[in-house]
Amino acid sequence: MNITRENIDDLNAVVKVDIAKEDYEGKVDKILKDYRKNANIPGFRKGHVPMGMVKKQYGQAVLVDEVNKMLQDALNKYLTEEKLDVLGNPLPKEQENFNWDNDTYSFEFELGLAPEFDVNLDLKDPVTKYNIVADEKMVNNQIENIQKQYGKIKTKEVAEEGDTVAGTFKNEEENIEKEATFELSKLKGKRNLNKFVGAKVGDTVSLKTKDLFEDVHDLQHNLGIEHDRAHELDTDVEFIISEINERELADLDQELFDKLFGEGKVKSVTELKDKIKEDAAKQFVQQSDQQLMNDITEKLIENIQFELPKEFLQKWIQTVGEKPLTDEEAVEEYNNSEKGLRYQLIEGKVVNDNELTVDFNDLKEFTGERIKEQMAQFGQTNPSQKELDDISARILSNQDEVKRLSEQLMNEKLLKFYKENMKFNEKEVTYEEFVKAISK
């Protein structure tokens, strides 16, 4: 067997594999002899079928199978030994006049080669790193939400601003009849609110679905309709009020503080505000980190330029799905996936050049931390090490979970590396300012 390579350019190559008769003859003969021993053909005793008949019936199928196995093994070994960084998979070239009746065979494969490039993290236009802080408005809103959540419900006959109403939405033509409960503060605009203020239990309120709620998803939920329909629906509905409730705010006292955070951990409204800011900061870090990673990804793709074997990749994309794609479909698919491929190559370069790795001990520790976070959400704040190890072992016995957690951990390591090696334009913002900034 002989393997040669012709480099077309820096990104494309053709590998030729020549297979001679002596490469496959012994394996094919051995398999056919085994067939002969076990063949059941009428008119012949088992094991005494003429070899010529066995070759005629099975010879070419065995030959094709064995040559293809040898071909695949040889090609994989060659790519590994030559340390060729290929994109996609080798594509066999069509051959005219190929004949399995010959003794020697030649196969050619197109290769798409990964480009060579350097990663420079010193960007002229630095990425913005948002530091989100909880402002006084957010803290006060959170306190009010806590007071509502732990306050008492008072049933009323007449609705006022801030109340919660229960009842049934109806529209026969649109086939809507849905029981719903919502806060009047969720309504959009004074016009809708005023229709409820002063209304009594048993009253019917006529409403327009368009711009009924501040969030259209509240319309979807309260009317029990599909997401797309909620965005398009513009019709009249009636709401028959069955119940009006006012939630009395809970007192900000030691009993409430202990219920929220444990006995004696928070002793005043000032400490409550500090605790809310602290908890909010932890949640904000996750969101700002995710946005930072997204922005770094976009900026690196934008700044690190290299060519790709575009035509090869489009041809390869045509072959990898459940059904072949047309040339136009392959071009569209390539255009949709090009940015992802570019970052995949950049990320691989950063990981390899800086020896960022995930070993089993890292993964076990990472898994344990995720388990502790989840258990804390359900009030289990001090699990034993044995309990953590047992749960981790069960999770890490699942290969899909290992893959998912390994990707999460590598993502964390990459972000840590970027934070340590890149310059950022740091900006302190409130959560509202953050949402506006990333929505632009």
Indicate whether 42 pLDDT > 80: no
Global pTM value: 0.71
| Shared domain check, 314 and 181 | no
Domain CATH for 288: 1.10.3120
Looking at 113, 138, 164, the residue that finishes a domain is 113
| Strand-pair category, 152-156 with 204-208 | unpaired
pLDDT band (50, 70, 90) for residue 35: confident
| Shared domain check, 298 and 239 | no
| Shared domain check, 418 and 311 | yes
Domain CATH for 207: 3.10.50.30
Q: Would you say residue 7 lies in a domain?
A: yes
Q: Would you say residue 118 lies in a domain?
A: no
| Shared domain check, 271 and 244 | no
- Which structure tokens are listed for 259? 């219920």
Domain CATH for 57: 3.30.70.1050
Contact of 54 with 80, CB cutoff 8 Å: no
| Shared domain check, 435 and 333 | yes
The predicted-structure confidence for 49-104, as pLDDT tens digits, reads as follows 788 887 888 888 999 999 999 999 999 999 999 999 999 999 999 888 888 888 89
| Shared domain check, 425 and 278 | yes
Task: Specify which residues 425 forms β-bridges with.
Answer: 128
| Shared domain check, 282 and 167 | no
Number of domains in the chain: 3
Q: Would you say residue 146 lies in a domain?
A: no
Indicate whether 312 pLDDT > 90: yes
Q: What is the DSSP letter of 429?
A: E
| Shared domain check, 416 and 365 | yes
Range of the structural domain that residue 395 is part of:
267-439
pLDDT band (50, 70, 90) for residue 44: confident
Q: Would you say residue 123 lies in a domain?
A: no
Torsion of CA 213, 218, 219, 223, to 10 degrees: -140
pLDDT band (50, 70, 90) for residue 129: very high
Res 260: pLDDT = 87
- Which structure tokens are listed for 36? 């002969």
Looking at 248, 275, 306, the residue that finishes a domain is 248
| Shared domain check, 216 and 81 | no
| Shared domain check, 313 and 237 | no
Q: Would you say residue 205 lies in a domain?
A: yes
For the segment 408-434, the average pLDDT, to the nearest whole number, is 94
**Amino acid, single-letter form, for residue 361:** N
Indicate whether 376 pLDDT > 80: no
Alpha carbon distance 335, 330 (integer Å): 9
CB environment 410-422: b (16+ within 10 A), e (fewer) = beebbeeebeeeb
For the segment 309-332, the average pLDDT, to the nearest whole number, is 92
Averaged pLDDT score across all residues of the chain: 91
| Shared domain check, 298 and 221 | no
Indicate whether 177 pLDDT > 90: yes
- Which structure tokens are listed for 239? 């709401």
Listing DSSP states for 264-300 in one string gives TS--SHHHHHHHHHHHHHHHHHHHHHHHHHHHHHHHH
Indicate whether 38 pLDDT > 80: no
- Which structure tokens are listed for 366? 């990472």
| Shared domain check, 377 and 232 | no
